[in-house]
């Protein structure tokens, strides 16, 4: 008994350590989670960007446009938050349109009046604003120009010009108004304007093709350039009728907007109408683009004034004004 009692401990439970509350939670580990989130988020973002770039079938550079379409690029219009320009005339803003005007005139036969249409494959590519600025620049260069809004379903030229919509082209084609009544004279120096008109549910069908051609022949004796603003050519029949009435067409493509197949289809439609495609205008190209668009957009800035020169010119103008007032 004595040996058994000696070997068996008198306390069956022994406290080895005292439990203490943790000072910091073991989960969640905010630092580790944040690091993993940034790491995997960056990898996911790069992967998505690479996939979008890989599956992007839009035109990526000027060389690609000229190779696929086999048409010359007449102009590259940089992206601008105010497409109609600002009150402070910056030479760099107007230079892309001067390049477009020069290349367009070089592609046309000199000394002859021309009826042209600017069209795009789809809506919302900046066709109307580009044509509006181009027409104003043509007129300011000494040409007699008339701008006709033939986008009868969604007209915008009367908004851009700040002029009334009625009467217009639809009234003229229906015989409800005479030519002199629909022409708005001198909306800008040397530029006349025919709005779309206000006839509801009017479309440019083949019934009005001969009247449209007669209108062009009448205007040909008065103007050097007759330019039409067209609706999108894919999905709208009006553009096909209009393209068959003029003697030349210019295709506008917005940077990274529509797939190449859609643009190629628009080209095929115009070529099927036997209307010569003069060239392509690339619109809304980002400034300082890493692709060969950047060669164009960066060089336009060569003609712009520095901020210091602008401030000096403004201050000099203010001083001259003060002198005139004092005198």
Q: Which of 62-76, 87-101, 144-158, 261-275 has the weakest average pLDDT?
A: 87-101
Q: What is the pLDDT of residue 326?
A: 32
The radius of gyration of the chain from alpha carbons, rounded to an integer in Å, stands at 33
As a whole number, mean pLDDT of residues 191-204 equals 88
Please say if the pLDDT value at position 318 is more than 50.
no
For residue 284, give the 3-state DSSP assignment: strand
Please say if the pLDDT value at position 68 is more than 80.
yes
As a whole number, mean pLDDT of residues 15-38 equals 81
pLDDT tens track for 106-162? 999 888 889 999 999 998 898 999 999 999 999 999 999 999 999 988 899 999 999
Q: What's the pLDDT band for 290 if we cut at 50, 70, 90?
A: low
Q: Report the C-alpha gap between 128 and 232 in whole angstroms.
A: 11
CB atoms within 10 A of CB 320: 10
Q: What is the pLDDT of residue 128?
A: 92
As a whole number, mean pLDDT of residues 219-235 equals 92
pLDDT tens track for 27-58? 777 888 889 899 999 999 888 877 776 667 78
Higher pLDDT, 311 or 285: 285
Please say if the pLDDT value at position 300 is more than 70.
no
Please say if the pLDDT value at position 293 is more than 50.
yes
Q: What is the pLDDT of residue 311?
A: 45
Which DSSP string do the residues of 196-236 spell out, in sequence order? ----TT----GGGHHHHHHHHHHHHTT-SEEEEE---SSS-
Please say if the pLDDT value at position 23 is more than 90.
no
* Phi, psi angles (nearest 5°) of residue 90: -95, 125
As a whole number, mean pLDDT of residues 231-259 equals 89
Please say if the pLDDT value at position 183 is more than 70.
yes
Q: Report the C-alpha gap between 194 and 163 in whole angstroms.
A: 10
Q: Report the C-alpha gap between 193 and 216 in whole angstroms.
A: 14
Q: What is the pLDDT of residue 208?
A: 87
Closest CA to 279 of 80, 116, 73: 73
Q: Are 255 and 263 in contact (CB under 8 A)?
A: no
Q: What is the pLDDT of residue 324?
A: 34
Residue 277: CB partners within 8 Å, gap ≥ 6?
71, 248, 249, 250, 251, 267, 270, 271
**What are the CA-CA distances from residue 188 to residues 34, 138, 192 (Å)?**
59, 11, 7
Please say if the pLDDT value at position 319 is more than 70.
no
As a whole number, mean pLDDT of residues 57-76 equals 86
Q: What is the pLDDT of residue 317?
A: 46
Higher pLDDT, 256 or 99: 99
């Amino acid at each position: 008994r004595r040996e058994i009692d000696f070997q068996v401990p008198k306390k069956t439970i022994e406290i080895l350590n005292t439990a203490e509350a943790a000072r910091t939670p073991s989960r969640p580990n905010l630092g580790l989670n944040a690091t993993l989130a940034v790491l995997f988020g960056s990898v996911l973002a790069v992967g998505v960007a690479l996939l979008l770039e890989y599956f992007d079938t839009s035109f990526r550079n000027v060389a690609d446009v000229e190779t696929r379409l086999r048409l010359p690029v007449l102009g590259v219009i940089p992206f601008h938050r105010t497409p109609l320009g600002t009150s402070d005339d910056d030479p760099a803003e107007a230079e892309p349109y001067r390049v477009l005007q020069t290349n367009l005139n070089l592609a046309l036969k000199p000394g002859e009046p021309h009826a042209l249409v600017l069209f795009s494959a789809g809506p919302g590519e900046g066709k109307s604003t580009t044509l509006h600025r181009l027409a104003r620049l043509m007129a300011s260069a000494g040409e007699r120009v008339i701008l006709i809004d033939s986008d009868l379903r969604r007209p915008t030229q009367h908004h851009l010009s700040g002029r009334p919509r009625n009467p217009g082209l639809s009234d003229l084609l229906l015989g409800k108004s005479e030519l002199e009544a629909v022409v708005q004279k001198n909306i800008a120096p040397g530029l006349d304007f025919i709005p779309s008109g206000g006839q509801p549910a009017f479309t440019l069908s083949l019934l009005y093709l001969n009247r449209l051609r007669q209108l062009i022949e009448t205007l040909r004796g008065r103007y050097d350039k007759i330019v039409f603003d067209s609706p999108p050519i894919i999905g709208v029949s009006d553009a096909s009728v209009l393209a068959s009435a003029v003697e030349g067409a210019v295709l506008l493509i917005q940077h990274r907007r529509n797939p190449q197949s859609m643009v190629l289809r628009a080209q095929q439609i115009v070529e099927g109408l036997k209307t010569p495609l003069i060239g392509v205008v690339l619109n809304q190209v980002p400034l300082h683009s890493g692709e060969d668009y950047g060669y164009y957009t960066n060089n336009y800035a060569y003609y712009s004034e520095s901020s210091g020169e602008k401030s000096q010119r403004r201050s000099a103008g203010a001083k001259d004004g003060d002198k005139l007032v004092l005198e």
